Each structure stands twice: as structure tokens, then as C-alpha cells.
């Protein structure tokens, strides 16, 4: 695989992470039937777009997403008058709020951040791979795309250097996340 193709795949990975973050509205039945590792670039038929068309399409989808977003509910002014009268036969209102439980609130389940997703995409691994798979993928890709192996032309060496830096950063992020 050439360096140019590798960079294109990295860009697609970044786009997939962005598309996954922005998301598309799907019914729960459609979402559950899809393979989570399916390439979003193919799912949304983005392979036929040029760079300019792709950027315009992303902007259009973001604009639509913003328009569909629910508007915040208007706040009601504080009540200054007495509460409305109760109907006859209605149960009495509690005089004080119910007691709170003494148990501490449950911590939210951690979600995989965008930087973690991008790191997995850069190393061409599915999200959630273990550290041994990450290490193996990193070493294999560095052997293949190390800048010292691409000294024939300055352009290739520069591209290989940038790619090696991205791979190293992705490995560091995943190492911190998995060994943390």
C-alpha cells in the first residue's frame, strides 16, 4: 500500500469518526441490524464525492442536523400566586419533599471519546481492541511506513514522517487509555 493511499485511508478514518460523531437519524431496528465495524464511508455512499463535494455535503448534513435539533423549552416565570385549588376527593399534597436516599449517585458509564476512536482508526483496528493488538498493529505499520524506508523522494519522506507521527500519537493515546 502506497503512502498516498495510506494517507487517504487515514483521512477516511477521520471522516468516519466525524460521521459517527455527527450520526444519522436511524430507526432502532436499522441501527441494531448494522455491523458496528461497517465502513461509514461506504454506508453513506461518500466514495463518489470529490473533496469539495464531500465538504459541501458535510456542511449540508450539519445544517440539517442543527435545524432538526429540538428547541429549548421556554422557561416559565416563577409562580407568585397560590397553587391552583384541588378538586374534591384528590389526595392531600405532601407538606415536604420525599426524603432522598443516602446512597451516592451511580457514576456514568465511560464513553469512548473521539480521540480514542481516531487512534483506533489510525492503527486500522476496531474500537475496543486490547493492548496486545494495538502494539502489534503499531509495530507492523511503523515497519511498513517508517520515514527511513522512504528516502527516495523528499515528498514521500515527508508524508512518511507525518504518518509516523500520527501513528506514534495514536499509540500513545491508546496506551494511556488501555494501561491507564
Mean pLDDT of the chain: 75
pLDDT digits (tens, 9 = 90+) for 89-109: 666 666 666 566 666 665 544
Q: How confident is the model at residue 26 (pLDDT cuts 50, 70, 90)?
A: very low
Q: Kindly tell me if the per-residue pLDDT of 67 is higher than 90.
A: no
C-alpha–C-alpha distance, residues 108 and 110, integer Å: 6
Record the pTM.
0.41
Listed ranges 4-13, 27-36, 42-51; the one with the highest mean pLDDT: 4-13
**Cell digits for 123?**
492503527
Q: How confident is the model at residue 25 (pLDDT cuts 50, 70, 90)?
A: very low
C-alpha–C-alpha distance, residues 99 and 44, integer Å: 50
Share of the chain above pLDDT 90, in %: 28
Pick from 84-93, 110-119, 131-140: least confident = 84-93
C-alpha–C-alpha distance, residues 101 and 94, integer Å: 18
pLDDT digits (tens, 9 = 90+) for 129-178: 999 999 999 999 999 989 899 888 899 899 999 999 999 999 999 999 99
DSSP state of 147: G
Listed ranges 23-32, 36-45, 100-109, 126-135; the one with the highest mean pLDDT: 126-135
CA atoms within 13 A on the CB side of 126: 7
Phi-psi region of 138 (alpha: psi -120 to 50; beta: other; left: phi over 0): alpha
Helix axes 114-122, 3-22, angle to 10 degrees: 150
Residues of the chain with CATH 1.10.287.110: 113-180
What residues contact residue 114 under an 8 Å CB cut-off, 6+ apart?
Answer: 17, 21
Span 122-126, average pLDDT: 92
Does 1.10.287.110 match the CATH number of domain 113-180? yes
**Cell digits for 81?**
400566586
Q: How many of the other CB atoms lie within 10 Å of CB of 165?
A: 11
pLDDT score, position 48: 64
Q: Are 132 and 176 in contact (CB under 8 A)?
A: no
Amino acid at each position: 500500500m502506497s503512502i498516498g493511499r495510506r494517507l487517504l485511508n487515514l483521512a477516511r478514518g477521520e471522516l468516519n469518526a466525524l460521521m459517527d460523531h455527527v450520526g444519522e437519524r436511524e430507526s432502532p431496528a436499522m441501527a441494531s441490524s448494522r455491523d458496528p465495524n461497517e465502513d461509514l464511508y461506504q454506508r453513506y455512499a461518500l466514495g463518489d464525492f470529490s473533496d469539495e463535494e464531500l465538504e459541501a455535503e458535510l456542511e449540508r448534513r450539519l445544517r440539517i442536523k442543527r435545524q432538526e435539533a429540538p428547541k429549548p423549552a421556554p422557561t416559565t416565570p416563577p409562580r407568585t400566586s397560590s397553587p391552583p385549588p384541588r378538586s374534591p376527593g384528590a389526595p392531600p399534597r405532601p407538606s415536604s419533599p420525599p426524603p432522598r436516599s443516602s446512597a451516592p449517585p451511580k457514576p456514568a458509564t465511560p464513553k469512548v471519546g473521539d480521540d480514542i476512536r481516531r487512534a483506533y482508526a489510525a492503527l486500522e483496528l476496531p474500537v475496543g481492541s486490547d493492548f496486545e493488538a494495538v502494539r502489534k498493529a503499531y509495530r507492523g505499520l511503523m515497519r511498513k511506513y517508517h520515514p527511513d524506508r522512504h528516502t527516495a523522494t523528499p515528498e514521500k519522506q515527508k508524508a512518511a514522517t507525518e504518518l509516523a507521527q500520527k501513528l506514534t500519537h495514536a499509540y500513545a493515546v491508546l496506551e494511556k487509555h488501555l494501561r491507564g
